[in-house]
Structure 1
Amino acid sequence: MTLALSLLCIAALLFGMPLFIGLGTLGTIYQQTNAAAIGTDSFADMTRQMTVIFSDPLAKLTGDQSALFLTIPYFTLTGYLIAHSNFAKRVINLYLIAVRRVGSVGTFGLGVVCIFIAALFTPLTGASGVTIVAIGGILLPILTGVGYSNQRAVGLITASGSIGLLFSPSLPVMLFGIMSENKADINELYRSGLLPGLVLLLALATVVLLHSFTAKTAAQASELKVQLDAAVFSARDAIKLGAELAAIPLLYVLMHSRFMVITELGVFFLLYYLVLEVFIFREIGWSKLVQVFEEAIAMVGSIIMIIFFAMILTNALLYDALPGKMFAFISQYIHSPLTFLMLLNIFLLIVGALMDIFSAIIVISPLIIPIAESYQIPMLHLGIIFLTNLEIGYLTPPVGLNLFLSSLRFQKPMSEVYKSIIPYLVALILAQLLITYVPWLSLWWR
């Protein structure tokens, strides 16, 4: 009966049941299974067990760790403000003007600019799919104009949409730090993610470089010239872009100097971009600001609900000491940490394709962390491996979230999106292997 109910719940999730309802239901089913297994039949005993499982998520959301959860709405609102501004257009026009003045580097240069913009957007919005939706329509015609086929352009934008989740102020990094119960300090995680994040960027740039050797047709060269001639970047645009970009190094300085705690940083940068985009640049009017807040609050509400019910499922699993049981089973067959890490990579890629990153961190990390500690894997290194796998999981067929968002945004069949992503996905997986088996990339600063 338990297995049947669980499979029914999973099937309902695949057919559109809200994720938080599914997680809460699975947690309740598992708790009832535990109660039956240990002979807890009385209503009082079952109520006591349910109280234990439900009380921890409430304590984390309202107690000592509540301040960390407050960072989620602050940085999400900031990301949506930037996404609705003309920031991306200014970066692209700056590149086109530079190309016009110093000579064209064409396909390679603009591809790298696309990756760079995505790497800035993704950590600010906290969800990579927002990057595809926000800037995909801007980048696609420009990329096809400089020599990309439509398929390659869609592939690059889709792949770039999952880049940047290791850089501050990425919400998944904060969330992993919270779920590790501060075994992995959030500021140290950001520091550890710097080189691995750059390795992932370099992997995509390498694919773009190889593509740049493909000769452009005369028609494509002519279309690029039209874009170059039409590009406008005024002194006012330079001032605006400088003010927007100045916030990024300022964020790193304030964060790593510990002048502000992470919650204060969230408030500071929300106010910074609110004043900049709404009151000084006036690119976001009041009606548009309402739309921005509606979209951001909907995202925040979804994240918080998922976090709460995912914690319930996790607590039900932990109540039954599942990590210890998993380690006892695994240790019979796996004795090498290197083998464990390889299997962990495969497992997390599958998880990243099936679950959103927030749910995956909350549900899976408490189960994996004790096992990884048993193999003496440094917590910061584990965090980077965990996050990069989930980041790549957004692109893993057949059900990676970014694949669906890209199909919807560009009105392409899923089969075409799958084909477009293959070279980028291969490059990212190779980069992931490098990050996994060269711990220095995560721990270089220690």
Structure 2
Amino acid sequence: MNGIALDIPRITRIRLHAVEDVVLSLALGAMVVVPVVEILLRGFFRLGIANAAAIVQHLVLVVGMLGAMVAARESRLLAFSGLQKLIPGPLGSWAGRFASAIALSVAGCLTVASYGFVASEQGGDNILAYGVPVWAVQVIMPVGFAIIAVRVAWNSAATFAGRIAVAALAMAFAASFALMGQGLATTLGLSLILLAAMLGAPMFIVLGGAALVLFAGDGLPIAAVPLSHYQLTINPSLPAIPLFTLAGYFLAEGGAPLRLIRLFRALFGSIRGGAALVTVLLTAFFTSFTGASGVTILALGGLLIPLLTGVRYPHRRALGLITSAPALGTLVPPALPLILYAIIARQPIETMFLAGIVPAAVMTLLLIGWGIWNGPNDVPREPFDFAEVRSALLDAKWEIALPPLAFISLLSGWVTPVETAALTAAYAFIVECVIYRDLKLTVDVARVMAECGLLIGGIILILGMALGFTNYVTDAQIPERATEWVSATIGSRWVFLVALNVLLLLVGMLMDIFSAIIVVTPLIAPIGVAFGIDPIHLGIIFLANMELGFLTPPVGMNLFFASYRFGEPLSEVVRSVLPGLAVLGGGVLLITYVPSLSTWLPALLR
């Protein structure tokens, strides 16, 4: 009887988690349905949904917070580092608890700050749609941050006593800051947050905590941080990011990888290095939709390693190619970094899509060339079989039609970028769940959408906190001072580009691409203008360098994903990617010093 009683909380948690996943899936599904219905009503009946765009934007807030809550539940909030794992024995355990205490303290402060923000909004008469006040949706922020704080505390230790110790340490930190003078509190707060970042604190905690400390240190209301998070989520273009990501998840979890591998093998299997070509094209394609090259490694790695080793491709070179190639999707439309950079740099999304095509093609060709050159020479080639090509093409015709659908919709001017993303997600859902039936409606769809929502939630939470930090930096006029200093110190545009590449490579090693775009773009954009660099060209330089950051030892994220997926030591993965890193580095230099690669196509089609 006692065993049953003790098991009830666990069963209850499982049920609550299932409900949480379903609600997240429904909110993400509503983001698809509302724009699609709006398009149909507008096209056939000259009608529309009241404030449809605002509804979708606020659904981003809901999906982001719910996804972050799920990520915290599963201990999958993205972190800068995990150095505490390298600290042996009890000291390593306490290092992790220290990072958790800082995270708990920051999450608690964000709860209080977001509650104050929502309370200030309740006095207004802002209506979202159909009589629903805006504050009724904003309340998800204090609730979400509170639940994240509880889950951070729960996951901080395996025992109840350990969790109490972490909570007590977090309260001690908060009380210390309240009692200190502003200058000392700011210095100590930033130092502790930096240490927590090195010990594995989540990225949103580091960025949000730094923003909270800086705002409080200047005597400004800390509600400015959740306000920044809210402003980011209701950006008119931001919903395109979760919607394109959802489309990529449907493709990756369905049968699309197998069908596309079959098609590419039929097309290119008869040429030398056909397996390498298939690997590069397929992984870049999937990353362009999922927005996460690590997800591509996890989803496709198990299929592509046998493909390469089956044609006697050396295992180390196969490992390096599969680890390197997904990063190319960063520049392939409709890549999410292209969308986010367009939002932050205030450039048209369509222009950034066009600007990425030629640079992406250049770097793809370089990596394909390297893959073919390093492949075996004495492997019998598959004879070209037109019947197999035709059969494979017919089998994969629905997936092949997806990129043209997205481009035609976007460039037609008939639908907005967000509506294009919604159409793409709806199309991917229909293809994988209705036409091919690779995903079961009652079993797989909710799981895939919850997994996608988890990734989206973690990213959006980071973006919101990064914007809070960036807003402080902007208010402090740091970009203007940086522009003056760089202009006075560096006299040559070409020298500046060299320094920019070095800086961005370091940023790519230390930050994820999404937070880097929000934090770094406002700093370098005015400097680029001062040196006469086209903002579009600057954006492509930025994103191309981020590709290298995914692969740069010792902290490139793709290295860890590959090590986990293939069960290889990190040192072996590092050795495998060094040649690909050198090839892509040459591509970055080419993109940097030949601006027309980025600007030619947008100028041609203006």
TM-score (norm 1): 0.88
Distance in 1 (alpha carbons) for counterparts of 2:286 and 2:570: 24
Structure 2 matches for 1:253-402, cutoff 5 A?
A: 253-286=408-441, 287-402=443-558
8 Å Cα contact 1:167-1:197 kept in structure 2: yes
How far has the Cα of 1:309 moved from its partner? 0.7
Tell me what 2:395 maps to. 240
Higher RCO (C-alpha 8 Å, min separation 6): 1
The answer to whether 1:70 aligns with 2:239 is yes
The one-letter code sitting in structure 1 at the alignment partner of 2:396 is L
Match of 1:195 among 346, 355, 358: 358
Match of 1:23 among 207, 213, 237: 207
The one-letter code sitting in structure 2 at the alignment partner of 1:19 is M
Tell me what 1:59 maps to. 231
Distance in 1 (alpha carbons) for counterparts of 2:392 and 2:290: 23
The farther-off stretch of 266-275 and 11-20 is 11-20
How far has the Cα of 1:61 moved from its partner? 2.4
The one-letter code sitting in structure 2 at the alignment partner of 1:109 is G
The farther-off stretch of 360-369 and 5-14 is 5-14
Distance in 2 (alpha carbons) for counterparts of 1:5 and 1:284: 48
The answer to whether 1:126 aligns with 2:291 is yes
Match of 2:249 among 80, 94, 97: 80
Call closer, same or farther: CA 1:335–1:411 in 2, change over 3 Å. same
8 Å Cα contact 1:24-1:313 kept in structure 2: yes
The farther-off stretch of 325-334 and 119-128 is 325-334
The answer to whether 1:174 aligns with 2:339 is yes
C-alpha RMSD over aligned residues:
2.2
8 Å Cα contact 1:187-1:256 kept in structure 2: yes
1:69-99: per-residue Cα shift (whole Å, max 9, x none)?
Answer: 2112211111100001122212222344456
Call closer, same or farther: CA 1:75–1:97 in 2, change over 3 Å. closer
Match of 2:564 among 388, 394, 408: 408
Distance in 2 (alpha carbons) for counterparts of 1:430 and 1:77: 33
Q: Structure 1 stretches of 5 or more lacking a match?
A: 41-45
The one-letter code sitting in structure 1 at the alignment partner of 2:421 is G
SS of aligned partner of 2:328: coil
Tell me what 1:208 maps to. 371
Tell me what 2:164 maps to. none
8 Å Cα contact 1:394-1:402 kept in structure 2: yes
8 Å Cα contact 1:53-1:319 kept in structure 2: no
Tell me what 1:43 maps to. none
How far has the Cα of 1:235 moved from its partner? 7.2
The one-letter code sitting in structure 2 at the alignment partner of 1:257 is S
Call closer, same or farther: CA 1:115–1:361 in 2, change over 3 Å. same
1:165-199: per-residue Cα shift (whole Å, max 9, x none)?
Answer: 1122111111111111x2x2110011111100101
Distance in 1 (alpha carbons) for counterparts of 2:485 and 2:267: 59
Tell me what 1:158 maps to. 323
How far has the Cα of 1:208 moved from its partner? 1.2
Distance in 1 (alpha carbons) for counterparts of 2:209 and 2:470: 12
8 Å Cα contact 2:255-2:432 kept in structure 1: no
Distance in 2 (alpha carbons) for counterparts of 1:148 and 1:10: 43
Distance in 2 (alpha carbons) for counterparts of 1:190 and 1:352: 21
Distance in 2 (alpha carbons) for counterparts of 1:342 and 1:303: 30
Distance in 1 (alpha carbons) for counterparts of 2:266 and 2:350: 37
How far has the Cα of 1:11 moved from its partner? 2.4
Tell me what 1:5 maps to. 189
1:84-138: per-residue Cα shift (whole Å, max 9, x none)?
Answer: 11222122223444567xxx434x1110111010121011001111110110110
Distance in 1 (alpha carbons) for counterparts of 2:575 and 2:367: 16
The one-letter code sitting in structure 1 at the alignment partner of 2:434 is F
SS of aligned partner of 1:329: helix
Distance in 2 (alpha carbons) for counterparts of 1:163 and 1:237: 25
8 Å Cα contact 2:537-2:599 kept in structure 1: yes
Structure 2 matches for 1:37-52, cutoff 5 A?
A: 46-47=220-221, 50-51=222-223
Identity of aligned residues (%): 36
8 Å Cα contact 2:487-2:530 kept in structure 1: no
The one-letter code sitting in structure 2 at the alignment partner of 1:243 is W
How far has the Cα of 1:233 moved from its partner? 6.1
Distance in 2 (alpha carbons) for counterparts of 1:258 and 1:99: 35
SS of aligned partner of 2:239: helix
The answer to whether 1:14 aligns with 2:191 is no
Distance in 2 (alpha carbons) for counterparts of 1:84 and 1:340: 43
Tell me what 1:93 maps to. 262
In the comparison of the two structures, how many residue pairs are matched? 415
Tell me what 1:145 maps to. 310
How far has the Cα of 1:215 moved from its partner? 3.9
Distance in 2 (alpha carbons) for counterparts of 1:233 and 1:89: 14
How far has the Cα of 1:311 moved from its partner? 0.7
The one-letter code sitting in structure 2 at the alignment partner of 1:79 is G
The answer to whether 1:105 aligns with 2:277 is no
The one-letter code sitting in structure 2 at the alignment partner of 1:190 is F
Distance in 2 (alpha carbons) for counterparts of 1:164 and 1:115: 10
Distance in 2 (alpha carbons) for counterparts of 1:26 and 1:9: 7
The answer to whether 1:135 aligns with 2:319 is no
Call closer, same or farther: CA 1:3–1:210 in 2, change over 3 Å. farther
8 Å Cα contact 2:229-2:461 kept in structure 1: no
SS of aligned partner of 1:164: helix
Distance in 1 (alpha carbons) for counterparts of 2:233 and 2:580: 38
